[in-house]
């Protein structure tokens, strides 16, 4: 009997391919080409499963053209590329890759927070440009991290891991805002206090965004929120670019209304808003939040296990919906 066919839409860790191969006929993308939507739809013909990276838009129109598709397994915790309602209605299982990247991504939030507050990118550029001629008392002064107020917008697993680092590692006063308040026991463990969104922007010395991206959270940080921030404050985004109005942020940074920003994600990535590129007081990284070797391997393995779990054993490991199978 021939094995079910699946599409691995991007180049992935070889361990994931090795895991999938005994169970499936695989079409892979070893050159890591970025396929157009039409190419993706063409390649999905005859496939029962898709290993997706988090960038492929899966919606009703695509599903209507891919009648054999039963599951899309994202190798990312974010799933704003999925129209979950459309997938459920079409009988298609959606899965993501949570938990395995929590600590690595929280590390990255702190990396950016510290680099931004202590102006590390700007300082290195200054040194490399040969501008460092002498020590001076006011050279590249930043904001403190220890003992400062850390404001976390979005308090899921990654937000909580960031809170633990701030509170326990750096003695920070941690405040957060989220759709729903954590229970008292969890608040006590992560040492974080719930505040309104407005108070978070007013009180925080360092703001970190880890809100899931959806139409509801589009530009959740715009000129009005930035205007509430202290002139010495920083903002870090490790969620999705669309959470921030980048033009408003660039304008505030250019006018030194806040100290700096650390951005790992961008609205039009991999294209970067030219207003941001022109600035010194922003630390820019190319969406590497989960990019440690072991974590990327674990994410790929989990996506593979979701495909094997659902298509071979009848149950996904980390399901996002409960569709009636096609
Ligand atoms: C990358 C992420 O998207 O998990 C997410 O939601 O943003 C990142 O981990 C992922 O690594 C791309 O495959």
Cα distances (Å, whole numbers) of residue 51 to 77, 259, 280, 321: 13, 40, 38, 16
Q: What is the pLDDT of residue 82?
A: 98
| Atom 10 (ligand 1) nearest CA | 76
Calpha distance 58→87 (Å, rounded): 8
Q: How far apart are the first and last CA of the chain?
A: 21
Q: What is the pLDDT of residue 101?
A: 98
Q: pLDDT tens for residues 93-152?
A: 999 999 999 999 999 999 999 999 999 999 999 999 999 999 999 999 999 999 999 999
Q: Tell me the best of 34, 77, 238 to mutate to test the pocket of ligand 1, counting ligand atoms within 8 Å of each CB and taking the most.
A: 77
Calpha distance 269→253 (Å, rounded): 20
Residue 74 CA, closest ligand 1 atom number: 13
Phi-psi region of 219 (alpha: psi -120 to 50; beta: other; left: phi over 0): left
Calpha distance 241→78 (Å, rounded): 12
DSSP count for the chain of H helices, then E strands: 14, 12
Residue 97 CA, closest ligand 1 atom number: 4
Which of 242, 243, 261 lies closest to 251 in space, CA to CA? 261
Calpha distance 306→112 (Å, rounded): 31
Active-site residue set: 240, 269, 287
Mean pLDDT over 303-316 rounds to 98
239 Cβ below 6 A of ligand 1: no
Assign a CATH topology to domain 102-284: Rossmann fold (3.40.50)
Strand-strand pairing, 192-194 and 282-284:
unpaired
Which position has the token pair 């790992």? 264
> Which DSSP letter does residue 181 get?
P
Q: Please state, as a whole number, how many other Cβ atoms lie within 10 Å of the Cβ of residue 321.
A: 17
Mean pLDDT over 252-278 rounds to 98
Residue 15 Cα to ligand 1 middle (Å)? 18
Which position has the token pair 């391997």? 297
Q: What is the pLDDT of residue 121?
A: 98
Cα 91 to the center of its chain, rounded Å = 27
53 Cβ below 6 A of ligand 1: yes
Q: What is the pLDDT of residue 325?
A: 86
Q: What is the pLDDT of residue 27?
A: 98
Q: Tell me the pTM.
A: 0.96
Is residue 23 within 8 Å of 48, Cβ to Cβ? Answer: no
Q: pLDDT tens for residues 267-301?
A: 999 999 999 999 999 999 999 999 999 999 999 99
So where are the chain's domains?
5-100+293-311, 102-284
What SS3 state is found at 153? strand
Q: What is the pLDDT of residue 1?
A: 74
Residue 78 Cα to ligand 1 middle (Å)? 6
Calpha distance 223→225 (Å, rounded): 6
| Atom 5 (ligand 1) nearest CA | 76
Q: What is the mean pLDDT of the chain?
A: 97
> What percent of the chain shows pLDDT beyond 90?
99
Can you spell out the DSSP letters for 56-68?
A: S-B-HHHHHH-TT
Which position has the token pair 């939030």? 109
Phi-psi region of 36 (alpha: psi -120 to 50; beta: other; left: phi over 0): beta
Per-residue tokens: 146: 């220890």
Q: What is the pLDDT of residue 326?
A: 82
Calpha distance 88→69 (Å, rounded): 12
All residues at 6 or more sequence positions from 184 whose CB lies less than 8 Å from its CB, including other chains: none
The CATH classification of domain 5-100+293-311, taken from the options 3.30.70.3420, 3.40.190.10, 3.40.50.720, 3.40.50.300: 3.40.50.720
Per-residue tokens: 277: 């590129």
Q: pLDDT tens for residues 17-60?
A: 999 999 999 999 999 999 999 999 999 999 999 999 999 999 99
């Amino acid at each position: 009997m021939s094995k079910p066919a699946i599409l691995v839409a991007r180049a992935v860790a070889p361990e994931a391919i090795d895991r999938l191969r005994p169970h499936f006929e695989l079409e892979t993308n070893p050159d890591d080409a970025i396929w157009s939507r039409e190419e993706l739809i063409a390649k999905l013909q005859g496939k029962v499963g898709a290993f997706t990276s988090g960038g492929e838009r899966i919606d009703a129109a695509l599903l209507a053209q891919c009648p054999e598709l039963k599951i899309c397994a994202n190798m990312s915790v974010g799933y704003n590329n999925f129209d979950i309602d459309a997938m459920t209605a079409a009988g298609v299982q959606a899965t993501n890759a949570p938990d395995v990247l929590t600590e690595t991504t929280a590390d990255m939030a702190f990396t950016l927070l510290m680099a931004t507050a202590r102006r590390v990118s700007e300082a290195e550029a200054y040194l490399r440009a040969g501008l460092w001629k002498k020590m001076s008392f006011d050279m590249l002064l930043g904001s403190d991290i220890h003992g400062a107020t850390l404001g976390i917008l979005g308090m899921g697993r990654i937000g909580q891991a960031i809170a633990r680092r701030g509170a326990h590692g750096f003695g920070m006063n941690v405040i957060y805002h989220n759709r729903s308040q954590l229970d008292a026991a969890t608040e006590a463990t992560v040492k974080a206090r719930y505040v309104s969104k407005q108070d978070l922007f007013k009180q925080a010395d360092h703001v970190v965004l880890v809100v899931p991206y959806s139409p509801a959270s589009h530009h959740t940080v715009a000129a009005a929120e930035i205007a509430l921030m202290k002139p010495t404050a920083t903002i870090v985004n490790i969620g999705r670019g669309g959470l921030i109005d980048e033009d408003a942020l660039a304008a505030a940074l250019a006018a030194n209304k806040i100290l700096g920003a650390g951005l790992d994600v961008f609205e039009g990535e991999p294209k970067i808003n030219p207003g941001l590129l022109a600035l010194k007081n922003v630390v820019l990284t190319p969406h590497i939040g989960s990019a440690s070797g072991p974590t990327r391997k674990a994410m790929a393995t989990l996506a593979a296990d979701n495909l094997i779990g659902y298509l071979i054993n009848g149950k996904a490991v980390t399901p996002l919906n409960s569709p009636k199978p096609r």
